[in-house]
Amino acid sequence: MKAIFVACNQSIYDEVLDIMNRMQMRGYTGWEELMGCGSRNGEPHLGNHAWPTMNSALLTVTDDGKVDEFLKSLKELDEANEIQGLRAFVWDVAAMI
């Protein structure tokens, strides 16, 4: 099993969920309003007067076999919405109940 953390601009959060639904990835925890700033060239998303945009995020645990396809779909979404910003991080899950 793998855990995948996805952080993205709020404007594409529903599209991430659509990808998960198409892939039948059911379990996740989501946060609709988060602050953040991209590590490369993204603008801050702080929800304030100067930087009003916000991020969203979700955490899902899925079978190893779905990870590559999910990341490929996320990369395509990110490339189609380059200004919005999307990052995904994957790590091993040692145990789950």
Split the chain (97 residues) into runs of 10 and give each run's mean pLDDT.
96 96 95 85 84 94 97 96 91 93
- Please list, in sequence order, all residues whose beta carbon lies within 8 angstroms of the beta carbon of residue 34, skipping any fewer than 6 positions away: 7, 45, 54, 55, 56, 57
Q: Which residues pair with 45 in a beta bridge?
A: 36
Q: Distance (Å, rounded) from C-alpha 5 to C-alpha 28?
A: 10
Q: What is the pLDDT of residue 85?
A: 86
- Residue 34 token pair: 């988060």
Paired tokens of 19: 């990808």
Please state the pTM of the whole predicted model. Answer: 0.91
Residue spans per domain, the chain: 1-57
